[in-house]
């Protein structure tokens, strides 16, 4: 049985309904809305140790991921809101391989124009960027973009490079947790877009495991996580788009449209408090 067939029998993790069997054109209606995450996730005094399946490599220091709840309450102002939105990730965030140059980020931003928000967006996707690179650079690169904005939003999407460079799952999930914790502690709204499948069955098994770990990190913190792996692993058009791409690793126009659809229909408007 193929990986695609197996994925059809498993429910999505994080936020995400089953994806339609054919590429869906965006309509003029509002995005489907899912219940917002809990406003006050539990705060535990002691750190939660990593589980057995998150063991680190020999020579790597233990990684203990704490439960976390942001100290400042994230609030949304009345009237027209001045929103600065920063997208941080790797090549898929950058839209590499899209002949239209939009990627999923450009398509999502185009569908986020709303009379209640004055939106300024920045794509900080860097090809080959690992979660460790994001930990190092996100604040330094994002803070200047947020200067003068009254509402700060951060969209994260990375992880495949962690697998390709041999990073342990414990370290990868800890890096994501650290970015989320630092951002939410500073009063920044965070949204996470999950990993996408490849044409390689063995790589897909590792991607799926990391995607599930990322969903768990987000769930513990009340942060929306969009599962892109399972809906797309069983989607013929996604796989055909990868197969037709020059590097057989990045999608083209249709594939990026699929990612954008998943983002827009899985908690995006609720996260932005748009009605």
Domains of the chain: 81-272 (3.40.50.1110)
Q: Give the model's pLDDT for residue 239.
A: 97
Residue 42, token pair as written in the block:
């539990």
Strands 117-125 and 189-193: unpaired
Place of tokens 């190092």: 136
Mean pLDDT on 79-97: 96
Between 7 and 261, residue with greater pLDDT? 261
- Beta-carbon contacts of residue 221 (< 8 Å; ≥ 6 apart): 41, 68, 69, 177, 180, 181, 184
| % of the chain exceeding 90 in pLDDT | 70
Q: Are 82 and 150 in contact (CB under 8 A)?
A: yes
3-state secondary structure of 168: coil
pTM as predicted: 0.77
Mean pLDDT on 205-234: 98
CA pair distance 204, 173, nearest whole angstrom: 17
pLDDT band for 128, please (50, 70, 90 cuts).
very high
Mean pLDDT on 49-73: 44
Mean pLDDT on 34-51: 37
Q: Is the pLDDT of residue 81 over 50?
A: yes
Mean pLDDT on 102-106: 98
Between 55 and 94, residue with greater pLDDT? 94
The closest of 104, 118, 102 to 272, measured between CA atoms, is 118
Residue 206, token pair as written in the block:
């590792």
Sign of CA dihedral 270, 48, 136, 62: negative
pLDDT band for 275, please (50, 70, 90 cuts).
confident
């Amino acid at each position: 049985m193929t990986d695609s067939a197996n994925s059809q029998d498993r429910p999505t993790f994080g936020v995400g309904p089953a994806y339609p069997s054919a590429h869906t054109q965006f309509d003029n209606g509002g995005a489907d809305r899912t219940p917002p995450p809990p406003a006050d996730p539990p705060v535990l005094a002691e750190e939660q140790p990593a589980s057995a399946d998150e063991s680190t490599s020999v020579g790597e220091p233990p990684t203990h991921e704490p439960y976390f709840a942001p100290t400042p309450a994230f609030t949304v102002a009345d009237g027209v809101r001045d929103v600065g939105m920063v997208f941080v990730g790797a090549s898929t965030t950058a839209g590499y391989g899209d002949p239209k140059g939009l990627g999923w980020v450009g398509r999502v931003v185009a569908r986020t124009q709303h009379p209640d928000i004055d939106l300024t967006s920045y794509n900080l996707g860097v090809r080959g960027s690992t979660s460790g690179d994001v930990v190092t650079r996100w604040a330094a690169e994002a803070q200047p973009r947020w200067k003068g904005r009254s509402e700060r939003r951060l969209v994260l999407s990375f992880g495949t490079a962690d697998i390709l460079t041999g990073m342990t799952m414990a370290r990868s999930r800890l890096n994501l947790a650290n970015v989320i914790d630092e951002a939410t502690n500073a009063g920044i709204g965070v949204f996470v877009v999950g990993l996408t499948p490849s044409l390689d069955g063995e790589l897909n098994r590792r991607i799926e495991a990391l995607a599930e770990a990322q969903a768990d990190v987000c769930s513990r913190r009340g942060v929306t996580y969009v599962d892109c792996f399972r809906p797309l692993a069983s989607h013929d058009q996604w796989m055909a788009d990868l197969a037709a791409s020059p590097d057989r690793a990045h999608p083209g126009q249709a594939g990026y449209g699929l990612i954008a659809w998943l983002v827009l229909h899985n908690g995006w408007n609720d996260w932005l408090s748009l009605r």
